[in-house]
Copies of this chain bind each other. A is one copy, B any other.
Amino acid sequence: MPRKSESRTTTVGDKAVLSAIRTAASDIHRKIVHRRKPTMKFPVRSLTNVKYHPDRGFFEIAGQKKERTLTVNTVKTFAQTLRMIALSKELVQNDDIATKREAYYVSKNWEEARFHEQPESDTVMDDVEAFFAVNREQLGFIPEEKGGDIAGKLIVLDRDRDTGKALRIDCTKFGSGAYSIPISVEHLQFETNAAFILVIETAGMFQRLVKHNYWKHANCILVSMGGVPTRACRRFVRRLADFKNIPVYVFVDGDPYGISNIYRTLKVGSGNAAHLNEFFCVPQARFLGITPQDIVDYKLPTHPLKDVDIKRARDAMKNDPFIRHHKEWIKAMELLLKMGVRAEQQALAKHGLNYVIDNYLPEKLRRPERFLP
């Protein structure tokens, strides 16, 4: 198999990870040799250990750490942590990848250190990720799920693994199809002069905008999230936006789920993964619509808020540091609750299937300064 004999370029990120792994391992080794108990310190991963810095723009992990010392009681977890780190080293060195599930199965050959259930190995992997303060993908571990399609004014630069040849992936050339974001995106580079990135909730709306080459006339990049964005999708948008300071506008359903789950997760990350939000958030994202005010202004057909919507909105106003920080969002949520309704982005079709292209988006884009934060 050519995979074994391929030429391989180690990226700077890879070198840093390998060096961090070697340092950590030597430290533990030295302690053992000197007959001292080796320890490892991990940041506590929970909502109680999270801060929101508006100026930095994402949920950050606070200072609490837990310590794992090698004792009779911790020996198995300690060994599993070290084996997981060794697996990561192997992956990075060989330019290979392993999903969480694969890592679990690989452990079946670790004899006494094998995991019995995947949640155990997932927890150790999360620990290792937090320990090195890098995102899992940089350690060679990739999520199971794939997601995120791209069309429009963007060239993605990738590399053929066997030949090392550069690949220029021109996202204007896929017709009715799209470029599907890989599970790991750290190695991608970009070329673009797009005016903005439009990130879309539903595959149906994305397909409409692609079908009508909306990106051509609006000089933009279209991203389909297909619901709550995957890690790969968030990381891709973040790296792309950072690359040339491209504004990111988000177009989702006008309901508490679209706002506080989909948009909030894209923009500032999620509470229970605060140790990696730094990589997986898009602080520059702004909320184009559907806003609660759009429901009024565009006389959109609506559905009544369900109990779960009402609960989600109230929770967000009470407990979500991001929503609480922004008066505009509190006001928007209040308006939604007062009206008692929600509107899907495709409700614009009431005014004609392409009203969204001919009227709604151009009107909105004339005043991006009015977008919700």
Contact = CB atoms under 8 A, between A and B. Distances in A.
A158 B145 contact: no
A176 B158 contact: yes
B105 A161 contact: no
Contacts of A3: 212-213, 354, 357
B212 A1 contact: yes
Nearest to A117: B303
A144 B202 CA distance: 8
Contacts of A219: none
A148 to B, nearest CB: 9
Contacts of A146: 149, 203, 206-207, 224, 226
Interface stretch (A31-39, A73-81, A305-313, A342-350): A342-350
Contact of A102 (B106, B160, B180, B349): B349
A221 B352 CA distance: 39
Contacts of A352: 106
Interface stretch (A46-54, A166-174, A269-277): A166-174
- Sorting the interface of chain A by its residue count into under 10, 10 to 19, 20 to 34 or 35 or more gives 35 or more
A169 B176 contact: no
Contacts of A167: 173-175
Interface stretch (A14-22, A60-68, A93-101, A128-136): A93-101
B180 A176 contact: no
A106 B96 CA distance: 49
Interface of A is mostly: mixed
Contacts of A188: 176
A178 interface: yes
A181 B179 CA distance: 9
A223 to B, nearest CB: 12
A353 to B, nearest CB: 6
A216 interface: yes
B177 A179 contact: yes
Interface in A175-216: 175-184, 187-188, 202-204, 206-208, 210-213, 216
A211 B96 contact: yes
State the copy count for this chain. Answer: 2
A160 B329 CA distance: 40
B156 A177 contact: yes
A93 to B, nearest CB: 13
A176 B301 CA distance: 41
A346 B105 contact: yes
B174 A204 contact: no
A180 B179 contact: yes
Nearest to A109: B350
A324 to B, nearest CB: 32
A358 B3 CA distance: 10
Given A96-B211, A212-B1, A179 B176 contact: no
A27 interface: no
A199 to B, nearest CB: 15
Contact of A97 (B184, B208, B226): B208
A216 B162 contact: yes
B353 A98 contact: yes
Contacts of A213: 2-3, 160-162
- 5 closest Cβ pairs, A-B complex: A158-B175, A146-B203, A99-B204, A180-B180, A105-B349
Interface of A: 1-3, 96-99, 101-103, 105-106, 108-109, 142-146, 149, 156, 158-162, 167, 169, 173-184, 187-188, 202-204, 206-208, 210-213, 216-217, 224, 226, 301, 344, 346-350, 352-354, 357-358
